[in-house]
Structure 1
Amino acid sequence: MQQALALILFLPWFVILSGLFWAYPRQPRTAARRAFDLASIALAVLAFVLVARWAHGYAVPTGTAGSIWRQVLATISGYGVFLAAMLVAWLLRRRWFARAL
């Protein structure tokens, strides 16, 4: 359960970011774009989960931080990977669908 805590806490924010990614720009809204958007969101969440699990196992509680360090490292690294994946998807989508217009 501790490894899933970062995802549970960030899930509302991921829903907001994914909704914005899905909604804008409004056109072109083709089946290919919808499939690309769904795949991008799924890959970003999967990347978050994989990196957060890795970071949770990698972190060594030391000093005054104690065991909270595992959660902090998992959350920070997972969130960074989620944002990076969404940024790459956004850039690819702009480039791919700019040609379609």
Structure 2
Amino acid sequence: MNPQVELNLALILFIPWFSILGWLFWAYPRQPRNAARTCFDSAALVLSGVAAFWGMHWGMHNADPHAGAIWKQVLATSVAYGLFLAVLSAALIARWRWLRAGRAAV
């Protein structure tokens, strides 16, 4: 297998699922949709992707070399998925509180 593909396989395989979760994060709730919300959502999605990318590489480089090649992929996938969900969940909670505070002020 191509070394670059092997190194990025975890992320390549999760791109469809990350895209679905990212779209759901972006689309709901539908209102209010202003420039600040668009910037916040964009930053959260980029940060989630960067965290997943970093976690995948960290997992590939720190997996036990004696456990076998498949376990490098398993660790990389688990770390990447966990970081993606952690960042997106934190952004979801922050956005929910921000929108709720904005409604209370109106």
TM-score (norm 2): 0.89
1:12-45 per-residue CA deviation (whole Å, 9 max, x = no partner) reads 1111000000000011111100110000000000
Gaps of 5+ in 2: none
What is residue 81 of structure 1 aligned with on the other side? 83
Q: Which amino acid aligns with 2:52?
A: F
Large movers: runs of 4+ above 6 Å: none
2:22 to 8, 18, 23: 18
1:27 aligns to what SS in structure 2?
coil
1:1-101 alignment, distance < 5 Å: 1=4, 2-63=6-67, 66-101=68-103
Gaps of 5+ in 1: none
Question: Percent identity among equivalent residues?
Answer: 49
Looking at structure 2, the residues matched to 100 and 27 of structure 1 have their Cα atoms a distance apart, in angstroms, of 12
When structure 1 is superposed on structure 2, of 37-46 and 54-63 the one drifting more is 54-63
- Count of aligned pairs: 99
TM-score (norm 1): 0.94
2:7 aligns to what SS in structure 1?
coil
Q: Which amino acid aligns with 2:45?
A: I
Question: Which protein is richer in helix relative to its size?
Answer: 2
